[in-house]
Amino acid sequence: MELIRGNDYYVKYKSVVLRAEPDGRSEPKNHLIYGDWTRFRGNTDGDWAQIFSRGNTGWVPKKSLQEERVLEINFVDIGIGDGCHIVTPDDQIILIDAGKTDNMSRFLNWRYNLRSRNVVGVEGVEDGDNNVKPPMEIDYVVLSHPDQDHYYGFKPLFENKKLSYKKVYHNGIVEVPKDTANEEPDLDYPWDLGGFITKKGVEYLWDTIESDSEMKSIIRRFPRTTKKYLSTLRPLLENNPNVEFKGLNHTHEFLDDFDLSNDISIQILGPVTDKIERNGVLKNCLKMIGDEGETKNGHSVVLKLKYNLLNVFLGGDLNTESEDHLLHFYAKTELEVSKLEKEITKLNKLGNTITNDEKQELSELKSDLNAIIAKARRFFQVDIAKACHHGSHHFSETFLKCLNTIVTVVSSGDGDSYAHPRPDALGAFGKYGRGERPLIFSTEIGRSTNEFTYIKEYFDEILDFQKRIAEASPSDKSKIEQELEERRDSNVATYGMITLRTNGKKVYIAQKLEAPRSKASKWDIHELEFNPKRNEFEYIEKT
């Protein structure tokens, strides 16, 4: 491969050290990993090339660079909730949830240097100013369901005029203010999710939103509501009048532009809807599967991403009820999995006192469950899964067996009143994972949690910034304030994030070390290798 000055290249190996000089013994400047972006500076020295990457200019072996861009999935440390940033090899950006705070916003500020981006009409920038750029485009946004710890972090992103958006997907459930004057007499309105209809003793949410026009209409219908879901979407529509909304369910099969004809496919496995007729109108409706929270969470958008040999599961906040619902649909069974699990547990507890009839019953129950798992794995078996509901105890062991993962990533944060990830969830992820050493990553565990003495050092650093700002001239003040914000932005990206890099055949999962051993050793990297004899990925043990 001939390197061309100014062209972009990507790190080819699991781990590469950026050196100050074209010598493997020279000072390390940074630690690069598979898939990292670099720009060739035009200089070579024997087998070495000078590049720019991760804010540094230095030297790497020529053979460590490639033209091929890989798929990157970043499970961002957004605190309590979920936030996933995906960049495809074609440079398409997908955001799946954004947590509750501004952590995702800070991550994107750091990743794309948004604070220094000059956009006309923002921060006094005018036509004719130097280095003017259009807003940076986010191709796809997925709001898995209307819970604040998944969507409210989009508010600062949707308000940011340095960003634009093409398509926004959601699960069809929109919280709206009570509007008694427009309630239909044949519908029930127990919550603020719209009207419910009862068919054959089962309640269904009738007022789901699917089309672009429906969503835009409901946002404009309540221009001053304080409902956080609609107030989050309002600035999105105001700043991006051409944005396209779409409510997803299993009938759509694949995310737009990501069907089986593409290198990357993203299958829509949930929410699963039923066709319900009302007053001559046939509509895709969501079944009530519990109380308001269980229904909203359980009908999360469920995605299965496939790239070459690799499969990744992204499942929102599924719970036991919804996992029953999904297995009922995909395994085509009338049996309720959670009831089967309880009966099996009950009989197993009998130990040596179990009768022959009970042994026979236990055998039949296990056979039924194994049949469901075999059928469901055709849809749900993956290599890597984002843990549903931050490691909640509301899960089905059978569903975990259907996923059969080798890697589970838990997104959770401090200040959580539910103690996520729960000990039983972590144990189950390992127990029902694939291989001798299933991997469990956690954004919360990966985050740096220095002792109080180090917090004091950080506090002293903030005080120093404040002093510099107070003493600065008006022209320098804004620069120092931006430096402070960039420092805070980089902290989000430095600790807690779990990053996946893959071409669909080679797979690396990495997290930053809380205390880097040196500039040459900043990452903890784990590798998966595809075994064609078993037709699945396996963990290459670091030991």
The residues spanned by each domain of the chain are 8-71+498-540, 72-446, 452-494
At 408 the three-state DSSP class reads strand
Looking at the predicted structure, is the pLDDT value of residue 441 above 50? yes
More confident residue, 171 or 517: 171
Whether 195 and 273 have beta carbons less than 8 Å apart is answered as no
What is the spatial order of strands in the sheet that 439-442 belongs to?
Answer: 264-270, 302-307, 310-314, 384-386, 407-410, 439-442
Give the pLDDT of residue 326.
Answer: 95
Give the pLDDT of residue 388.
Answer: 80
Whether 233 and 224 have beta carbons less than 8 Å apart is answered as no
H helices within 204-336, ranges in order? 212-221, 228-239, 292-298, 320-330
Give the pLDDT of residue 95.
Answer: 98
Give the pLDDT of residue 480.
Answer: 72
Looking at the predicted structure, is the pLDDT value of residue 360 above 80? yes
Report the C-alpha gap between 315 and 375 in whole angstroms. Answer: 19
> What's the chain's length in residues?
543
Give the pLDDT of residue 473.
Answer: 82
Q: Do the domains 72-446 and 8-71+498-540 match in fold?
A: no
Q: What is the mean pLDDT of residues 301-323?
A: 94
Which pLDDT band, with edges at 50, 70 and 90, does 413 fall under? low
Give one DSSP letter per residue of 128-157, joined into a string: T-TTB-PPEEEEEEE--SS-HHHHTTHHHH
Please name the fold of domain 72-446: Metallo-beta-lactamase; Chain A (3.60.15)
Looking at the predicted structure, is the pLDDT value of residue 493 above 70? no
Structure tokens, 344: 């099996």
Q: What is the mean pLDDT of residues 412-427?
A: 70
Q: What is the mean pLDDT of residues 365-372?
A: 95
Give the pLDDT of residue 449.
Answer: 45
- To the nearest whole percent, how much of the chain has pLDDT over 90? 70
Q: How many CB atoms lie within 10 A of CB 292?
A: 14
Classify domain 8-71+498-540 by CATH architecture. Roll (2.30)
Looking at the predicted structure, is the pLDDT value of residue 446 above 80? no
Flag the least confident range among 175-179, 199-203, 460-464.
460-464
Give the pLDDT of residue 452.
Answer: 38
Q: What is the mean pLDDT of residues 48-59?
A: 96
Looking at the predicted structure, is the pLDDT value of residue 448 above 70? no
Nearest to 432 by CA among 414, 412, 452, 407: 407
Which pLDDT band, with edges at 50, 70 and 90, does 450 fall under? very low
Report the C-alpha gap between 225 and 367 in whole angstroms. Answer: 52
- Average pLDDT along the chain: 90
Looking at the predicted structure, is the pLDDT value of residue 158 above 50? yes
Q: What is the mean pLDDT of residues 503-528?
A: 90
Report the C-alpha gap between 334 and 337 in whole angstroms. Answer: 9
At 57 the three-state DSSP class reads strand
Q: Is 487 exposed, middle or buried (0-12, 13-18, 19+ CB in 10 A)?
A: middle
Give the pLDDT of residue 391.
Answer: 62
Whether 525 and 512 have beta carbons less than 8 Å apart is answered as no
Q: What is the pTM of this model?
A: 0.91
* pLDDT digits 0-9 by tens, 99-143: 888 889 999 999 999 988 999 999 889 888 888 999 999 999 999
Report the C-alpha gap between 73 and 92 in whole angstroms. Answer: 12
Looking at the predicted structure, is the pLDDT value of residue 265 above 50? yes
Structure tokens, 396: 């089905």
Q: What is the mean pLDDT of residues 322-345?
A: 93
* pLDDT digits 0-9 by tens, 347-359: 999 999 999 999 9
Which pLDDT band, with edges at 50, 70 and 90, does 78 fall under? confident
Give the pLDDT of residue 490.
Answer: 65
Report the C-alpha gap between 540 and 437 in whole angstroms. Answer: 9
Whether 169 and 143 have beta carbons less than 8 Å apart is answered as yes
Q: What is the mean pLDDT of residues 192-205?
A: 93
Give one DSSP letter per residue of 159-213, joined into a string: H-TTEEEEEEEE-S-------GGG--TTSB-SSSS--EEEETTEEEE-----SHH
Whether 497 and 76 have beta carbons less than 8 Å apart is answered as yes
